[in-house]
Amino acid sequence: MTTTTDPDHTKTWNLRLDLFEEPEGTTSAHAVLDTGDGRLDSWTIAYRNPHDRPVPGIGDEYAAGRALRELGQRLLDAGAVDAEENAHGRAR
């Protein structure tokens, strides 16, 4: 996912986060990170306890937070792979 660039070059990565509220008390989140060189995405879901009042914003926060956390882990994993490849002279 990593490319070599000029150190003075500024990059813009775009993040899209879509939330889907379901009538059963669940909220799904889909996060997509477009780096220009590649794309990472994650899907997560949050379930409302049936004994809790329906407050959609809470489900949004949980689902979005989980999607961003998973996306962050995938980004860290990609960085670790790229660093390993770089250490062995296989940089892309």
Query: 27, 20 in Cβ contact below 8 A?
Result: yes
Tokens representing 57 are 């914003």
Q: Is 84 exposed, middle or buried (0-12, 13-18, 19+ CB in 10 A)?
A: exposed
pLDDT at 73 over 90: yes
The count of other CB atoms within 10 Å of the CB of residue 71 is: 20
Q: Give the per-residue pLDDT at 6.
A: 65
What are the pLDDT digits (tens) for 27-71? 999 999 999 999 999 999 999 988 988 888 999 999 999 999 999
Check if CATH label 3.65.10.10 holds for domain 15-87: no
d(C-alpha 53, C-alpha 79), whole Å: 41
Domain boundaries, the chain: 15-87
What are the pLDDT digits (tens) for 9-18? 899 999 999 9
Q: Half-sphere exposure of residue 86, counting CA atoms within 13 Å on the CB side? A: 10
